[in-house]
């Protein structure tokens, strides 16, 4: 299957700082990537759809100015959590979409802890 | 409202038994259907996908699709303790849009 990497795998930051998470498709090109957030014992929550060369599409209730997404190439999308607060602590997971039949391959996730 | 429904479980089966996981979806125009496995603290991994009515087998896993009933299931034969995880059903409704169910927790007792 297709391989997606994420970096870093975990990060601890102080409240008010910004954190950047990278998502890379290693062996295929992905025009579309997705960013999810998952709190403990809860289901995946789609945050935004990232399209190469265009602005991301955010789900309702997700602040686009707080969660900055950049998809500058066909293999790299980044999520920047700006002015992080403790409530932003979560497991952030990216996925890359294959056009047919539409499966997603997930990165290993990034565990963010904001102190 | 486009939805994907799964029983949250937990579903508990003894080792060696068949585990049956079920999923219903509301959008009749859905094209492709996926099963993902997610271990605690890890990200989801794709197990298999199906897009035609009927059964599709891959090793110990069989996906079943019934578009008329808007129902998709996953059977795990000879269940092992290592199969204990949350299983996510996902439905592609066209284009890039995929909707995930909340998942069913499976426990396989040794």
Q: Mind listing the pLDDT tens digit for each residue in A34-55?
A: 999 999 888 899 999 998 888 8
Residue of B nearest to A51 (CA): B96
What is the strand order of the sheet B4-6 is part of?
A: B4-6, B19-25, B71-76, B61-66, B54-58
Cβ B100–A103 below 8 Å, yes or no? Answer: no
What the block records as the tokens of B104 is 């069913």
DSSP string, chain A: ---EEEE-SEEEE-TT--EEEEEEESSS--SEEEEEEE-TTS--EEEEEEETTS--EEPTT--TTTEEEEEEETTEEEEEE-S--GGG-EEEEEEEE-SSS--EEE---EEEEE-
B2/A115 Cα distance (integer angstroms):
37
Distances from the Cα of A101 to the Cαs of A23, B9, B93, B97, in angstroms? 22, 28, 11, 12
pLDDT in tens, A68-112: 999 888 899 999 999 999 999 999 999 998 777 778 899 999 999
A43, A97, A107 ranked by CB distance to B96: nearest: A97
The whole-number pLDDT of residue B18 equals 98
B34, B42, B102 ranked by CB distance to A103: nearest: B34
Q: Which residues, in sequence order, are CB contacts of B70 under 8 Å at separation 6+?
A: B24, B25, B26, B28, B30
User: Is the pLDDT at A115 greater than 90, yes or no?
Assistant: yes
Residue of B nearest to A94 (CA): B43
Could you report the average pLDDT of every consecutive run of 10 residues in chain B (110 residues)? 86 98 94 95 95 96 97 98 97 86 96
Cβ A105–B46 below 8 Å, yes or no? Answer: yes
A32, A91, A101 ranked by CB distance to B49: nearest: A101
- Work out the pLDDT band at A1, boundaries 50, 70, 90: low
The whole-number pLDDT of residue B27 equals 92
User: Is the pLDDT at A31 greater than 80, yes or no?
Assistant: yes
Mean pLDDT of chain B: 94
Distances from the Cα of A112 to the Cαs of A9, A50, A68, B4, B59, in angstroms? 9, 20, 15, 28, 36
Cβ contact A96:A2 at 8 Å: yes
Q: What share of chain B is helix, strand, coil (3-state, %, to 5)?
A: 5, 60, 40
Cβ B31–A101 below 8 Å, yes or no? Answer: yes
């Amino acid at each position: 299957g297709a391989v997606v990497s994420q970096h870093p795998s975990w990060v601890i930051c102080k409240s008010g700082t910004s954190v950047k998470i990278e998502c890379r498709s290693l062996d295929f090109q992905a025009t579309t990537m997705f960013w999810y957030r998952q709190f403990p014992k809860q289901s995946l929550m789609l945050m935004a759809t990232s399209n190469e060369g265009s602005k991301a599409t955010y789900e309702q209730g997700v602040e686009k100015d707080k969660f900055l997404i950049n998809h500058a190439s066909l293999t790299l999308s980044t999520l920047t959590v700006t002015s992080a607060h403790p409530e932003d602590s979560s497991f952030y997971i990216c996925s890359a979409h294959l056009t047919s039949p539409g499966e997603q391959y997930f990165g290993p996730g990034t565990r963010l802890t904001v102190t | 409202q486009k939805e994907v429904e799964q029983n949250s479980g937990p579903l508990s089966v003894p080792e060696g038994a068949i585990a049956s996981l079920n999923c219903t979806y509301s959008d009749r125009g859905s094209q492709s259907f996926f099963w993902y496995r997610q271990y605690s603290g890890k990200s989801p991994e794709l197990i298999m996908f199906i897009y035609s009515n009927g059964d599709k087998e891959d090793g110990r896993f069989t996906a079943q699709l019934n578009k008329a009933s808007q129902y998709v299931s996953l059977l795990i034969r000879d269940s092992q303790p290592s199969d204990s995880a949350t299983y996510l059903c996902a439905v592609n409704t066209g284009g890039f849009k995929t909707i995930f169910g909340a998942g069913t927790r499976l426990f396989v007792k040794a």
